[in-house]
Chains A and B, each alone.
Chain A
Amino acid sequence: MNPIARERLFGFRHAFDDRVTVVLALTVLILFLLAPLLIFVVTRAANSSSDKRKELWDRYRSWIWLALFILIPILAGAFWTILGVATLSFLCYREYARITGLFRERTISLIVVIGILFITFAALDNWYRLFVALFPLTVALIATGGLIPDQPKGYIQRVGLGVLGFALFGSALGNLGYMANDWNYRPILLLIIFAVEMNDIFAYICGHLFGHRKFVPNTSPNKTVGGALGAIVLTTPLFALGAHFVWFGTALDTPVCLLGLGVIVSVVGQFGDLMLSSIKRDLGLKDTAKLIPGHGGILDRFDSLILVAPAVFHYVNYFVGFAAGQPQRIFSGWGI
């Protein structure tokens, strides 16, 4: 294997070479150290019920695990990062398939799973043409697979659900995995995930502080205009500042482009949240699963990331692109 590719895929010794990575990892660590104190003070001051207190502690404990599951693969190497994203894709698709009933359509589900496996391979291989080709090809395969039971009744539903599932969890989330082909993927991914999660928290806090007018009461009754705007105002500069250091000196490194990217992360992140709210409300469910204590399902936690991944990928791709100078077709090219 090409030494540059091997270094990127497995080179954990360079995990903390970039200062943005160090700053973000330290910030996360400090937040985790401060959070117990904050929870203690807030629950005391608000005289919260024991249920509420338990929920907050559950959430905190779950966050520690989630942070480890996110941080360790990214720091360990691009190989583990891409596998981590693939795992996330599978878990999200599984929850989606179970809540929509698509999991009963075995052929369609199998095709979506195979599609996700191929997307993962294309990302690992750094084979952009395959990566791009996989969306239309998998859609064609799903439309074909829907014919196999020879039952036209329900064809549009099963194929439609399959295509939406692959689009969101295979293709869109797959962009996150493909970003790991950039030589500087660690700060890029950490920054995106950190900003998206902070965006959720900012929206929640701002909503509580200045939220009066309901935003989309039918979709998500707790969302307010104040919360949404507050999140944009806080997330945009945070992300733009991080992005300035990550893409220092590139075509993207202008105030307008960076702020544009920050707005995209914040706005699209909130749309992702609303998208899942709509899916759940359409099905009459509160959570997609009961897997993470205090959070619900994997999909409940990572909903905001799903639409952000392709939006950021193609925005950055327009200005600078990913994977510049990295060897292509690492496994399939036989050393091309």
Chain B
Amino acid sequence: MEPWKLEPARDTGLTPSERFRSVRRESGLLESLAHHVCFSMLRSYFAIAHRLTIIGREKLPAHGPFVLAANHCSHLDALALGAALTPRHRERAFPIAAGDVFFQSGVTSTFSAIMLNALPMWRKNCGPHPLADLRRKLQEEKAIFIIFPEGGRSRIGSMMPFKHGLGMLIAETNLPVVPCGLVGTFEALPPDRKLPRPVAIKLVIGAALQFASTANDRTGWSQIAATVESCVRDLVAQSRTA
């Protein structure tokens, strides 16, 4: 018989507000229920209000760890990608959200953590440590990250160049990156609007990419960013014509 393996929650010893903002957070029974309810409701919302069509869902790996990388021009993007995941995926799916928008106040961080299962990414003075924590979480907890490598919402709807962060998460690993192209979210909810318009949204999921042999350094990260960016650009173009 193997000895017992008792592993306390990784967030043990954090106060509730620290925990909501922490990358070490692990959901319990009630929080998992909240994510499920939230994403089920979002799924219905997108189906009814935006007639969400998903092309290539069969290309999603059966289980984590993997990374969904998409273009970003609206707050609806992360929600649409979350809604596209199967219930089996949702348990471990974490949208990576801007810390300065979603985790600034107690109310927003509680909502982002409990309802969306989001993890904060601090855009200023972030440094390598938070990314190293995220990289560890991705591998050890078989997580699914929803990432927007542009580093923010495009204000005009067209894609911005991808940043290095994605590369820092997955270079020299076997973790699949699934490129996704989203169309319609900018028209539905551009950054200057408060409430969404019922515009049709399309999501095209591409074939998974792997970067096991790409070096975990600046050149490697640029290479990863460029490869994924061109894939996403193709998917966006494809979904506009489809």
Binding site for B on A (CB under 8 A): 94, 97-101, 103-104, 106, 109-110, 113, 153-154, 156-157, 282-283, 285, 287, 289-291
Contacts and interface: CB of A to CB of B under 8 A. Distances in A.
A277 B4 CA distance: 19
A97 B28 contact: yes
Contact of B2 (A104, A113, A153): A153
A99 B8 contact: yes
B14 interface: yes
Nearest to B91: A106
Most buried by A among B2, B16, B18, B29: B29
A100 B12 CA distance: 10
Nearest to B28: A103
A290 B16 CA distance: 8
A285 B14 CA distance: 13
A98 B29 contact: no
A14 to B, nearest CB: 35
Nearest to B13: A290
Contact of B8 (A94, A106, A113, A283): A283
Nearest to B29: A109
Interface in B171-212: none
Contacts of B28: 94, 97-98, 103, 109
Contact of B9 (A99, A110, A113, A157): A99
B58 interface: no
A278 to B, nearest CB: 13
Contact of B14 (A104, A113, A154, A290): A290
B6 interface: yes
B5 interface: yes
Interface in B11-63: 12-16, 18, 26, 28-29, 32
A291 B16 contact: yes
Given A101-B7, A153-B2, A157-B5, A289 B32 contact: no
Most buried by B among A100, A103, A106: A103
B29 A113 contact: yes
A64 to B, nearest CB: 19
Given A94-B28, A110-B29, A157 B4 contact: yes
Nearest to B19: A290
A24 B43 CA distance: 54
B8 A101 contact: yes
Contacts of B9: 98-99, 101, 103
A283 B5 CA distance: 10
Interface residues of B, number: 18
Given A101-B6, A157-B5, 10 more contacts: A98-B9, A99-B8, A99-B12, A100-B8, A101-B7, A103-B26, A104-B7, A109-B29, A290-B13, A291-B16
B2 to A, nearest CB: 7
Nearest to B30: A94
Contacts of B2: 153
Closest 4 CB pairs of A and B: A101-B7, A98-B9, A99-B8, A290-B15
B14 A98 contact: no
Contacts of A103: 9, 26, 28-29
Contacts of B32: 106
Most buried by A among B8, B14, B15: B8
A106 B29 contact: yes
Contacts of A154: 5
A219 B182 CA distance: 57
A90 to B, nearest CB: 9
Nearest to A160: B4
Contacts of A94: 28
A65 to B, nearest CB: 15
A110 B30 CA distance: 10
A283 B6 contact: yes
Nearest to B2: A153
Contacts of B12: 98-99, 285, 289
Contacts of A110: 29
Nearest to B31: A103
Nearest to B3: A157
A100 B14 CA distance: 16
B13 A287 contact: yes
A101 B12 CA distance: 10
Given A106-B29, A110-B29, A100 B13 contact: no
10 contacts: A94-B28, A99-B9, A100-B6, A109-B28, A285-B8, A285-B13, A289-B12, A290-B14, A290-B15, A290-B18
A94 B32 CA distance: 14
Most buried by B among A97, A104, A110: A104
A106 B32 CA distance: 10
Nearest to A98: B9
A74 to B, nearest CB: 26
Most buried by B among A94, A285, A290: A290
A287 B8 CA distance: 12
Nearest to B7: A101
A291 B13 contact: no
A210 B4 CA distance: 39
A157 B6 CA distance: 9
